């Protein structure tokens, strides 16, 4: 095996800070904008992505010596589609309200660039354990970003988080935050803040 295989610690750090999905890797923006109207929806989406990431990373890593180069994207996509079907059926059965709210965005996990990118850059090259840890770390990073964005939007749009009123009574809710405008502008400002902080560091 190669000498410079990533370690578990470096994989965890990568997923949670250095290469955190939405803010650094700039992938997976569609669900970030779409499901972050509320923290509950964001968490459900995040947990589904963690499940699909770990499962697909493990399966691709087990298959990695059998992949033909020009067919590999198709194989990745089919594997991911299978696990997303499982996740979708689970949500439809046990959390029907959340499934209705998330609508088409759960099946859209299939084309979420993060999962295919991780399958391509990590799972097809590393062993099963590292791939699983990578899937977990990337998924966790993604969930953290989603929940952060969702909490900002939910707080400003309704003054409440998880139905607990946080803002004072005199607060006028910013309805724009619940609409697409709020999503795009907040994410743009968050990315700008991340750029600013990394420039300051270096």
Partner 1 sequence: MDLVISLSLGFIGIVLINNLVFTKFLGCCPYLGVSGRLDMAFGMGLAVTFVTTLAGTLTWLIDHLFLIPCGLEVTRYVCYILVIAGAVQLVEMYLRKFFPPLYESFGIFLPLITTNCVILGLCLFLNIWGIKNFLEAVVLSFGAGIGFTMAICIMAGIRETLEDADIPECLKGAPITLITAGLLTLGFMGFAGMIK
**DSSP type of residue 202:** -
Report in angstroms the alpha-carbon separations of 43 from 14, 135, 148: 21, 16, 10
Report in angstroms the alpha-carbon separations of 193 from 30, 113, 168, 171, 189: 20, 23, 27, 25, 6
Nearer to partner 1, 10 or 82 (CB): 82
Residue 116 Cβ vs partner 1, minimum distance, rounded to whole Å: 6
Nearer to partner 1, 8 or 78 (CB): 78
Report in angstroms the alpha-carbon separations of 174 from 80, 124, 192: 37, 45, 21
Residue 48 Cβ vs partner 1, minimum distance, rounded to whole Å: 14
Residues forming the site for partner 1 (CB under 8 A): 26-27, 29-30, 33-34, 73-74, 77-78, 81-82, 84-85, 88-89, 103-104, 107-108, 110-111, 113, 116, 176, 179-185, 187-189, 191-193, 195-196, 199
CA 1 to chain centroid: 30
Nearer to partner 1, 34 or 128 (CB): 34
Nearer to partner 1, 150 or 187 (CB): 187
- 8 A C-beta contact, residue 162 and residue 40: yes
Residue 128 Cβ vs partner 1, minimum distance, rounded to whole Å: 24
């Amino acid at each position: 095996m190669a000498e410079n295989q990533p370690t578990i610690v470096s994989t965890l750090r990568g997923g949670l800070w250095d290469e955190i999905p939405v803010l650094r890797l700039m992938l997976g923006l569609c669900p970030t904008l779409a499901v972050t109207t509320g923290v509950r929806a964001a968490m459900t989406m995040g947990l589904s992505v963690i499940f699909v990431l770990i499962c697909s990373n493990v399966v691709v890593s087990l298959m990695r010596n059998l992949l033909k180069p020009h067919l590999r994207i198709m194989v990745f996509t089919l594997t991911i589609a299978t696990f997303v079907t499982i996740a979708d059926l689970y949500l439809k059965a046990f959390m029907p309200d959340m499934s209705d709210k998330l609508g088409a965005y759960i099946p859209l996990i299939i084309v979420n660039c993060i999962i295919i990118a991780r399958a391509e850059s990590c799972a097809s090259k590393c062993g099963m354990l590292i791939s699983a840890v990578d899937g977990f770390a990337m998924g966790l990073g993604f969930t953290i970003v989603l929940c952060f964005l969702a909490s900002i939007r939910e707080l400003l749009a309704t003054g409440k988080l998880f139905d607990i009123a946080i803002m004072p009574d005199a607060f006028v809710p910013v309805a724009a935050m619940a609409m697409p405008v709020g999503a795009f502008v907040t994410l743009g400002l968050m990315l700008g803040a991340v750029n600013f902080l990394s420039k300051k560091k270096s």
